[in-house]
Amino acid sequence: MRPRLAAVYVLLVLLPLGILGWLGLKLAQEEHVNKQNDLQQLMQQGLTRLDDTIARVIENLENELLRATDFIPANSENQVSPLQQSRIIQPTYDTPQLRRLARKNRFVRQFFVISRDNQFLHPPTTGDHQTFQEKRFYERTLSVWESGHDLHESRKDSREEHKSHGWHTWFWGDGVNLIFWRRTPAGHLLGAEIEVVALQAEIIAQLPADSKNQEQPERIQLIDTSEDVLYQWGFYEPREGETAQTSIPVTEPFTMWKLRYFSPLASHENEFLPSKPSASLIILGAILVLLALYFHKENSRDLRIASQRVTFVNQVSHELKTPLTNIRMYADLLESKIPEEEGQSRNYLKVITNESRRLTRLISNVLTFAQSQRQEIRLHKTANIPDQVIRETIAHFRPALENRNFQIKLDLNAEQEVQIDGDILEQILGNIFGNVEKYAAEGQFLAVSSRQQEGRLEITIADHGPGIPVNQRETIFKPFHRISNQLSDGVSGTGIGLSIVRELACLHGGDISLLPTEKGATFQLTLST
Burial of 432 (0-12, 13-18, 19+ CB in 10 A): buried
- Give residue 431's pLDDT: 86
Say yes or no: 386 and 520 in one domain: yes
- Give residue 512's pLDDT: 94
Question: Looking at residue 491, what DSSP letter applies?
Answer: S
* Reported pTM: 0.45
Count how many Cα atoms sit within 13 Å of the Cα of residue 36 in the half-sphere of its side chain: 14
The sign one gets for the Cα dihedral 354, 358, 359, 363 is: positive
Angle formed at CA 516 by CA 511 and CA 519, multiple of 5 degrees: 125
- What are the CA-CA distances from residue 392 to residues 70, 157, 221, 249 (Å)? 45, 38, 28, 31
- Give residue 36's pLDDT: 66
Q: Is residue 45 part of a domain?
A: no
Say yes or no: 410 and 450 in one domain: yes
Asked which of 201, 231, 263 is the last residue of a domain, the reply is 201
Say yes or no: 510 and 392 in one domain: yes
Residue 417's contacts (CB-CB under 8 Å, 6 or more residues apart) are: 383, 384, 385
| Three-state SS at 130 | coil
Neighbour tally for 154: CB within 10 Å: 15
Q: What is the spatial distance between Cα 342 and Cα 349, in angstroms, rounded to a whole number?
A: 11
Number of structural domains found in the chain: 3
Residue 478's contacts (CB-CB under 8 Å, 6 or more residues apart) are: 499
Say yes or no: 368 and 458 in one domain: no
Q: Are 461 and 523 in contact (CB under 8 A)?
A: yes
- Give residue 76's pLDDT: 37
Say yes or no: 393 and 372 in one domain: no
Q: Is residue 24 part of a domain?
A: no
Q: Is residue 22 part of a domain?
A: no
Q: How would you write the pLDDT of the chain (529 residues) with one tens digit per residue?
A: 445 545 544 555 555 556 655 665 666 666 656 666 666 777 888 888 888 989 999 999 999 888 887 764 433 344 444 444 444 344 556 788 888 888 888 899 999 988 888 888 888 888 777 888 888 888 888 888 877 656 644 444 444 456 788 999 888 876 788 999 988 887 788 889 999 889 988 888 888 776 555 566 788 888 888 888 888 888 788 888 888 888 889 988 988 889 988 887 655 444 444 444 445 545 644 554 555 555 556 555 655 555 555 555 555 555 566 677 777 777 777 777 777 767 777 777 777 777 777 677 666 666 665 556 556 677 888 999 999 999 999 988 888 888 889 999 999 999 999 999 988 898 899 889 988 988 888 889 999 999 999 899 999 999 999 888 888 888 888 876 666 554 455 455 566 788 888 988 998 999 999 998 888 999 999 999 8
Tell me which residue range forms the domain holding 75: 69-154+162-201
Asked which of 360, 377, 394 is the last residue of a domain, the reply is 377
Q: Is residue 37 part of a domain?
A: no
Q: What is the spatial distance between Cα 480 and Cα 366, in angstroms, rounded to a whole number?
A: 12
Say yes or no: 437 and 516 in one domain: yes
Q: Is residue 77 part of a domain?
A: yes
Q: Is residue 208 part of a domain?
A: no
b/e 182-198 (16+ beta carbons within 10 angstroms → b): bbbbbebbbbbbbbbbb
Q: Is residue 25 part of a domain?
A: no
- Give residue 450's pLDDT: 96
Say yes or no: 410 and 364 in one domain: no
CATH of the domain at 328: 1.10.287.130
Strand partners, 246: 261
Residue 494's contacts (CB-CB under 8 Å, 6 or more residues apart) are: 362, 365, 366, 480
CATH of the domain at 512: 3.30.565.10
Say yes or no: 304 and 183 in one domain: no
Say yes or no: 337 and 409 in one domain: no
Q: Are 456 and 529 in contact (CB under 8 A)?
A: yes
User: How far separated are the first and last CA of the chain, in Å rounded?
Assistant: 78
Within its chain, how far is the Cα of 326 from the centroid? 11
Residue 226's contacts (CB-CB under 8 Å, 6 or more residues apart) are: 175
Q: Are 334 and 347 in contact (CB under 8 A)?
A: no
- Could you give the dihedral angle defined by the CA atoms of residues 101, 104, 110 and 115, in that order, rounded to the nearest 10 degrees? -10
Q: What is the spatial distance between Cα 107 and Cα 191, in angstroms, rounded to a whole number?
A: 12
Q: Where are the alpha helices (DSSP H) in 234-342?
A: 279-299, 301-337
Say yes or no: 428 and 474 in one domain: yes
Asked which of 342, 377, 412 is the last residue of a domain, the reply is 377
Q: Is residue 456 part of a domain?
A: yes
- Give residue 17's pLDDT: 55
Say yes or no: 312 and 325 in one domain: yes
Say yes or no: 301 and 177 in one domain: no
